[in-house]
Amino acid sequence: MRVNENILISSLTTMRLGGPARYVLEIERPEEIPDAYDFAATYNMPTFVLGYGANTIGHDEGFSGAIIINRMHGISETPTPDGINLTIMGGEYWDNVVEYACKKGLTGIEALSKIPGLTGAAPVQNIGAYGQEIADTLESIEVYDTASHTFKTLSHDDLGFSYRKSILNTTEKNRYFVISITLHLTPGQMEPPFYRSIEKYASDHNIKDFSPQGIRAIVSAIRADKLPDPLEKASSGSFFKNIYLTEPEAEIAEAKGYPVYHGKDGYKINSGWFIEKAGFSDKLLHGFRVNPKAALVLINESAKSYQDLAAAREEIVNKVYDIYGYWLEQEPVEIINPPVKIPGVN
């Protein structure tokens, strides 16, 4: 385990905000995981598990505890009757995994190309894009359970997946350290109808190759056109979640003229539509640019403080609610210090 002290969270997260973390513990072998939690417990420090920091935001005061990062690498294959189970260590960069699978002609994760982050984080918010989500192919994950201090396997069904959710970020938040994940992938390709933007890009460019490599190329091109590369422009991807509706809610929204999309995961409205219509597209708010090509994305152009982000968020959320009556929900998680215990007070 590598132990680092006083590392700026802004250097570990793609939105590039956040003061120093007291410790950053980098795990290189599974046996080190209990040591990392014991280390934090010895000093009575809180812990936060971080990956690439593409969906996590730091606060100005930093973190008085230990950030723990999975730095374990490796991909192994187990043949199954109809395909391959890939077991991937959580420290692998996610897009390298997609590239690996696509090169082998395996379908199941090609539409998840170019999502920044480490593999260990992928099941946490059930990453999804262009009609696929990791829940579609995930068989199981290996974890360290901080409640029982044991290593465990959790199956797909244990994980309670839904849109941007699993037990790992809801009922069992912060309980499990993801060591590795196992995906079941098969030779073949995605079946049409494809996600609207994939259909459009393919027809505009006269593309007929929908093999995993072909879809990866299309998705990569669409994303390069409308999403910032976090290495060049600080952002945490979609800052707001899309709005999911029940059927009666969808009927009301459609009657109001809002663009409701009926996908395989239910009725939804792209929150970016409201942000754009509310007049925020390309606006600079407290140092954050509302991405003109995908208004769900906030780009940190010059903000140095979490307070700036809070102010930009408040402006957008309040105006969208005032005009359209929907509260936008934030997607990225935040690294927050627990309240200080004051004897006799709390």
Ligand X SMILES: Cc1cc2nc3c(=O)[nH]c(=O)nc-3n(C[C@H](O)[C@H](O)[C@H](O)COP(=O)(O)OP(=O)(O)OC[C@H]3O[C@@H](n4cnc5c(N)ncnc54)[C@H](O)[C@@H]3O)c2cc1C
CA distances from 196 to 130, 262, 345 (A): 8, 11, 55
How long a stretch of residues is the chain? 346
- Which one among 37, 177, 194, 195 touches ligand X, defined by CB under 6 A? 177
Phi, psi of 279 (to 5 degrees): 95, 15
- Share of the chain residues as helix, strand and coil, in percent rounded to the nearest 5: 30, 30, 40
Both structure tokens of 5: 């002290």
For ligand X, give the closer residue by CB, 118 or 316.
118
- 53 interacts with ligand X by CB under 6 A: yes
- Which one among 58, 131, 212, 230 touches ligand X, defined by CB under 6 A? 230
Distance in Å, CB of 294 to ligand X, minimum: 9
Q: Tell me the C-alpha distance between 339 and 193, whole Å.
A: 50
Under rule CB under 6 A, which residues in 99-138 are in contact with ligand X? 115-118, 120-122, 124-125, 127-129
Per the annotation, the verdict on 71 as an active-site residue is: no
For ligand X, give the closer residue by CB, 55 or 271.
55
Strand 297-300 versus strand 243-245 pairing type: unpaired
Distance in Å, CB of 332 to ligand X, minimum: 7
Using the contact rule CB under 6 A, the part of the chain among 72-80, 96-104, 229-237, 317-325 near ligand X is 229-237
Q: Tell me the C-alpha distance between 235 and 276, whole Å.
A: 18
In the chain, the amino acid numbered 48 is F
Q: Which of 113, 140, 235, 238 is catalytic?
A: 238
- Which one among 10, 47, 56, 140 touches ligand X, defined by CB under 6 A? 56
Distance in Å, CB of 240 to ligand X, minimum: 12
- Lookup result for tokens 């936060």: 48
- Lookup result for tokens 């260590």: 89
Per the annotation, the verdict on 238 as an active-site residue is: yes
Q: Would you name the residues annotated as active-site residues?
A: 164, 238, 331
Point out which residues bind ligand X (CB under 6 A). Answer: 14, 49-56, 70, 90, 115-118, 120-122, 124-125, 127-129, 168-169, 176-178, 227-228, 230, 235-237, 333
